[in-house]
């Protein structure tokens, strides 16, 4: 096609994706079923692919980045005043942020604690897992407190998440050598919905992981330590990049110490055997939409005595992740591909993979030039299949066939992706620059 046709196709696909997202926001405000939103998001990946494929028609990388950020703000902005149909987490964010402003500790006091009865408002009935204390590290709590201080409205959390998404796009444009990577991140339908619709802040953790890997690649260990510690302070998954500091003992010591201090409130606020301990319950009980962990769990049940199989499976997963970290350090894998591969490992081995967890991966995936993560961001919408039944009857039943379908698609995407995640030893000089290239 001519350049003019490519530009027209780019504009049509961009307008089509925006129209579908605005339509979904209107439908959500009108009280549609969650499955309607999920189906619309899945359909959005078609024009999204067209936008990425025809983006070369935009001659200037600066103009393309501007289009990416403005489109993300516009399309995401449509979701700000729609109800968060796909997740109720943001009600908990607002509750915990308000508790800090009122002088209470959400690590110690669960939402159903009688002491907090006077603080219950119209959002309180929508909070999930009311008997459990908070599972979110301190920097996340600062985020919640900021949202509460800025008005404490549902749209406040969503706006902060959308702005974080746009900031991540701007940061990726500095890190990646690809013209297309920032656009692919900005317009990804999953990230737009998880941020601007559901209010999840996981894109900030993904950004911190990317910044840590990038700073390590540049030899800026101070900035890398700050970014890695920020990732840990947002989500515990940030620990996955800490072993990459191993060849710099001083940087490792400082980063590990700050990260450990950030996790202290999660550990000491309630004992690990306390039934109301959110982190303990999450670490020992939560399961859903898992892949390799499901297979490991099944094998453990065939071999181990009843009651210990799940503990054995979780122990195997932890050991497997430690082995991956050791392999990355031993083989001296460059920081960006190493961080990307380790986050892939976390997600594939995790007992719980919520769709918004893909926000940890996608900035690294696009910076490294991969495409399998983008495929997963579409396939992971299968995890929302039980939502209609959950809303109607309070029953969560994930069809096994859909779970198998999701991970079959992901497996195929990994096989065919020429820049698939790897922990191979660098084969030649310039490996880092090749791995850091985005979608060209």
Please write the tens of the pLDDT for every residue from 169-197.
Answer: 999 999 998 999 999 999 999 999 999 99
Does the pTM surpass 0.85? The reply is: yes
Integer Cα distance of 260 and 263 in angstroms: 5
Mean pLDDT of 332-346: 96
How long a stretch of residues is the chain?
440
Q: What are phi and psi of 55, to 5 degrees?
A: -70, -15
- Predicted confidence (pLDDT) per residue in 104-115, tens digit: 999 999 999 999
Say yes or no to pLDDT of 119 above 80: yes
Say yes or no to pLDDT of 431 above 50: no
Q: What are phi and psi of 264, to 5 degrees?
A: -55, -45
pLDDT, greater one: 58 or 111: 111
Greatest Cα-to-Cα distance within the chain, rounded to the nearest angstrom: 68
Give the model's pLDDT for residue 436.
42
Q: Is 288 helix (H, G, I), strand (E, B) or coil?
A: strand
**Helices and strands of the chain, counted as H and E runs:** 20, 0
Integer Cα distance of 32 and 25 in angstroms: 10
Contact 242, 263 (CB under 8 A): no
Sign, CA torsion 96/169/423/339: negative
Give the model's pLDDT for residue 214.
96
Q: Is 27 helix (H, G, I), strand (E, B) or coil?
A: helix
Give the model's pLDDT for residue 127.
94
Mean pLDDT of 202-209: 97
251-260, 309-318, 375-384, 424-433: segment of lowest average pLDDT: 424-433
- Predicted confidence (pLDDT) per residue in 276-295, tens digit: 788 888 888 888 999 999 99
Quick one: tokens of 279?
């982190």
Say yes or no to pLDDT of 149 above 70: yes
Q: Helix, strand, coil proportions of the chain in percent (round to 5)? A: 70, 0, 30
Percent of the chain with pLDDT over 90: 82
Mean pLDDT of 150-155: 94
Residues forming beta bridges with residue 352, ordered by sequence position: 288
Give the model's pLDDT for residue 376.
98
Integer Cα distance of 314 and 54 in angstroms: 44
CA distances from 115 to 99, 118, 127, 412 (A): 11, 8, 17, 52
Say yes or no to pLDDT of 407 above 50: yes
Which residue ranges make up each domain of the chain?
3-435
Give the model's pLDDT for residue 428.
42
Give the model's pLDDT for residue 1.
52
Give the model's pLDDT for residue 427.
63
Mean pLDDT of 419-428: 80
Say yes or no to pLDDT of 367 above 70: yes
Say yes or no to pLDDT of 440 above 60: no
- Predicted confidence (pLDDT) per residue in 237-261, tens digit: 999 999 999 989 999 999 999 999 9
Give the model's pLDDT for residue 289.
93
CA distances from 62 to 69, 89, 167, 170, 179 (A): 11, 36, 15, 11, 9
Integer Cα distance of 191 and 165 in angstroms: 8
């Amino acid at each position: 096609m001519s350049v003019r046709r490519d530009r027209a196709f780019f504009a049509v696909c961009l307008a089509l994706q925006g129209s579908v997202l605005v339509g979904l926001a209107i439908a959500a405000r009108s009280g549609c079923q969650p499955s309607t939103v999920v189906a619309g998001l899945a359909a959005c990946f078609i024009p999204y692919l067209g936008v990425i494929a025809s983006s070369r028609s935009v001659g200037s990388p600066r103009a393309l980045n501007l289009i990416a950020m403005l489109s993300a703000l516009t399309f995401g902005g449509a979701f700000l005043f729609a109800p968060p149909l796909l997740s109720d987490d943001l009600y908990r964010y607002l509750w915990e942020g308000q508790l800090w402003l009122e002088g209470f500790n959400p690590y110690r006091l669960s939402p159903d604690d009688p002491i907090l009865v006077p603080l219950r408002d119209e959002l309180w009935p929508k909070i999930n897992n009311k008997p459990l204390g908070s599972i979110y590290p301190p920097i996340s709590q600062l985020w919640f407190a900021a949202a509460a201080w800025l008005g404490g409205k549902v749209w406040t959390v969503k706006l902060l998440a959308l702005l974080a998404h746009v900031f991540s796009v701007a940061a990726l444009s500095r890190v990646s050598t690809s013209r297309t990577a920032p656009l692919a991140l900005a317009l990804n339908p999953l990230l737009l919905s998880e941020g601007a619709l559901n209010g999840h802040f996981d894109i900030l953790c993904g950004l911190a992981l990317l910044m840590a890997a990038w700073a390590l690649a540049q030899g800026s260990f101070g900035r890398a330590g700050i970014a890695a510690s920020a990732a840990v302070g947002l989500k515990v998954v940030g620990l996955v990049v800490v072993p990459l500091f191993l060849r710099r003992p001083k940087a490792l010591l400082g980063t590990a110490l700050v990260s450990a201090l950030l996790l202290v409130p999660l550990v000491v606020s309630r004992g690990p055997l306390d039934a109301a301990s959110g982190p303990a319950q999450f670490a020992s009980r939560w399961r859903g939409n898992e892949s390799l962990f499901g297979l490991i769990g099944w094998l453990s049940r065939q071999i181990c005595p009843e009651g210990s199989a799940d503990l054995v499976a979780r122990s195997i997963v932890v050991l497997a992740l430690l082995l991956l970290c050791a392999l990355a350090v031993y083989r001296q894998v460059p920081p960006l591909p190493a961080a990307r591969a380790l986050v892939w490992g976390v997600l594939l081995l995790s007992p719980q993979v919520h769709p918004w967890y893909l926000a940890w991966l996608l900035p690294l995936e696009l910076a490294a030039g991969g495409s399998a993560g983008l495929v997963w961001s579409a396939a992971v919408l299968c995890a929302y299949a039980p939502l209609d039944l959950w809303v109607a009857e309070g029953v969560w039943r994930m069809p096994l066939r859909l779970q198998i379908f999701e991970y079959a698609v992901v497996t195929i995407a990994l096989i065919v992706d020429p820049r698939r995640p790897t922990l191979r030893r660098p084969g030649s000089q310039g490996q880092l620059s090749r791995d850091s290239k985005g979608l060209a």
